[in-house]
Amino acid sequence: MSSKNDDLPFQEVDCREVITEVYLYLDLECSDERRRVIKHHLDECSPCLREYGIEQEVKALVARCCGQEKAPPEMLARLRAKLSSLVIDVEVSREPG
């Protein structure tokens, strides 16, 4: 459910794209422009906002359980690459054909 508000200079964003990037948004790991786009979408899209709320709760739970432990940068890079490839694989497998 993507929404468009002509009063604001925001691009229309696909819901899958927003949910895919919600952890980057939560972790403040995306650009300011991308954060504005995602925030605008979450403000306008109820289904994504519900999903974001769930993700936010999971992140809070993990933070409480894992304390202040930090993963090494190399591990984070490998994990992000793997997650990106999984998202691409899922999207490709959903394409008609």
pLDDT tens digits along 16-67: 888 888 888 888 888 999 999 988 988 888 888 787 787 777 777 777 777 6
Looking at per-residue confidence, does 96 or 81 come out higher? 81
User: What are the structural domain ranges in the chain?
Assistant: 15-70
pLDDT tens digits along 69-89: 778 899 889 988 888 877 665
Res. 93 pLDDT band, cuts 50 70 90: low
Burial code (b: 16+ CB inside 10 Å, e: under 16) for 37-76 equals bbebbbebbeebeebbeeeeeeeeeeeeeeeeeeeeeeee
- pTM score: 0.49
